Amino acid sequence: MCTVCTVAIIGGLGLSRWLKVDDTVSGVWIGAFLVTIIYYTIEFFHYTIEFFLFNKINFWGRDFLISLSYYALAFIPLYTGKIIGHPLNRIWGIDKFIVGAFCGSIFFILAVMLYSWLKKKNAGHAHFPMEKVIIPIISLIIVSAGFYFLTR
């Protein structure tokens, strides 16, 4: 994960809301954004807190609780604000926004893993400049385009 990816994800989310595309597409970008925030929070607890406190704040299920908290902090206000939960705003029987967020999270994680695998296969070097940013963002664009054409 890198900060450039996070900024690009925020830009993609803003663009999708500005263009008033379907909620599945916005959900893809929200899901990817949640993954980056979760990653940075876990890294913060793992490195920064341990450095300053000289001990680990590590307990069973810590990462799961952090992840669950961020998803709850994202979806509960959307539910109370009636952005998600409308009975006619569904795909495959599930709210479009939630489906998009789930797919965005999964595909973003897979794209980051793909980049790590490609880098490892290339003796620890990227194949081209900004590969670390381009692979995850392109994967999100492909998933967004798929949902865009699926929900038309």
Per the confidence metrics, is the pTM higher than 0.75? Answer: yes
Which helix (H) or strand (E) is 94 found in, with range? strand 94-95
HSE-up (13 A, CA, CB side) for residue 50: 11
CA-angle at 133, arms to 132 and 136, nearest 5°:
95
Percent with pLDDT over 70 in the chain: 87
HSE-up (13 A, CA, CB side) for residue 76: 6
Residue-wise pLDDT tens digits, 32-86: 889 999 998 888 877 766 566 655 666 678 889 999 999 999 888 888 887 777 7
Residue-wise pLDDT tens digits, 129-144: 887 888 888 998 899 8
